[in-house]
Amino acid sequence: MKLDKETLKIINREIGKQELSITQISELLDFDRTLLTKFLNGNRIPNIEVLLKLLNYLFPETHAAYGILKRITPYLKSLQSLKIMLEMARLNRDEKTVSAAANILSNASLQKDKEWADCYLLWQEFRSGNLDKDKYLDSILTISLQSDEMKAFRFIALAHFHYAYSDHKSLANEYIEKAKLIIDTLQPGLIKNSYLARYYGYKSQIALSKSVKPDDTSLQYFYKSNEYAISELMVGVNYYNLGLIYQHHDHQLAIKYIKKTLSILKIYTQYDSSLKFFIDYIEELIPRISILANDFDGIKEKDLTSTKNKLIYNIKMGNETKARELLKGFTDEEKENDFIMYCQGILESSIPILMKCLSRNIEVSQIYETPLPVRALLQLGIDHSIIDAMINAKYGDIKYYVSS
């Protein structure tokens, strides 16, 4: 792999800023000094993993290293390097680079290499909304695959589908375990690391979906996922999921995690503008978490841009008249939103509305949201055994307890 002059200039400029000599950098990164010197003078470097090791040293923020890698994608000759770029671009939601790498791989001579392009483009078509759920699921299930990596990819994709779109968490768990059996046989490297990160990420989410707050098992999965992750964006998603779980138990820790996600998302909007909607949602969520925890430090109603946040703020502050006026502004359809339903339930001290809210959370596997209606119901005199029965009817005998 040979870099263009502009990219080499950027790398050499960063090398010049280092306190270490070329020899010391070579020793630190376990590089052959002669090979590194030749590369910096314009010669080829063996593969993208070697280059990434150097870039991660020079640019500790992985998005900066990725920015250089995407520049060279059209010039990549190594099939393995192109496969790594496919995975990195997919993780970073960089559709242009996924397409660029896939287009080159689609011309490979062997089917086991071509199929990488087929799988990643299939995923991209679904994520971008150009392929409906049924067609995507059928395609993933029936596509003929030869390489072990893409067989693992298939099971990861199926786990994601059943976790996120069909609410079959047990089936998602079966598929992710099938993926793990194949992942364990793969050669060490960035692809294996990334697939391991995705395995542990889904194991964490599946564990958390059956828990009202993090336990040791789900936390260990979370830490393992971040350990293997090759993309900051994936780390950000992990922090977001953990923040959601902590929001009703340790709101300051939840906000700390979610703010980490926010800072990462803002970097990656350069590749996927749709992330801006996620950013808007998180910026709305952060003050709401504090309000729900009765922490009003630095929060003023005039600064709240979300009507939902204004509603819960006024309820918490005891401004019932203002809260009722705000509630009237929501349509009947909007009042079916579980959070607005919760607000209406506590404002009206309505057990039926709060029960409906709890049932909705349970049905869509948002057990981490249940502390809100549960605490309100307990305060209204509902016995905890009734709540346990509702939750266990969906999830089986799990440990669930929320105090009022």
As averages over each run of 10 residues, the pLDDT of the chain (404 residues) reads: 76 85 85 80 74 82 79 85 94 93 95 97 93 95 97 97 86 97 96 97 85 79 94 92 88 96 92 91 96 94 95 97 97 94 97 94 77 93 89 69 56
Q: Choose the final residue of a domain: 54, 76, 98.
A: 76
The answer as to whether 340 is a domain residue is yes
Any idea what the CATH number is for the domain that residue 70 is in? 1.10.260
Q: Choose the final residue of a domain: 28, 53, 76.
A: 76
The answer as to whether 156 is a domain residue is no
Residue-number span of the structural domain to which 34 is assigned: 1-76
The answer as to whether 183 is a domain residue is no
Burial (Cβ within 10 Å: 0-12, 13-18, ≥19) of residue 283: middle
Q: What is the pTM of this model?
A: 0.87
Q: Which amino acid is at 1?
A: M
Q: What is the largest CA-CA distance in the chain?
A: 76
Please report the pLDDT score of residue 194 as a whole number: 97
Please report the pLDDT score of residue 399 as a whole number: 55
Please give the structure tokens belonging to residue 37.
């010197």
Burial (Cβ within 10 Å: 0-12, 13-18, ≥19) of residue 339: middle
The total of structural domains in the chain comes to: 2
> How far lies 320's CA from each of 59, 315, 325, 352, in Å?
53, 6, 9, 20
The answer as to whether 102 is a domain residue is no
Beta carbons of 157 and 126 less than 8 angstroms apart: no
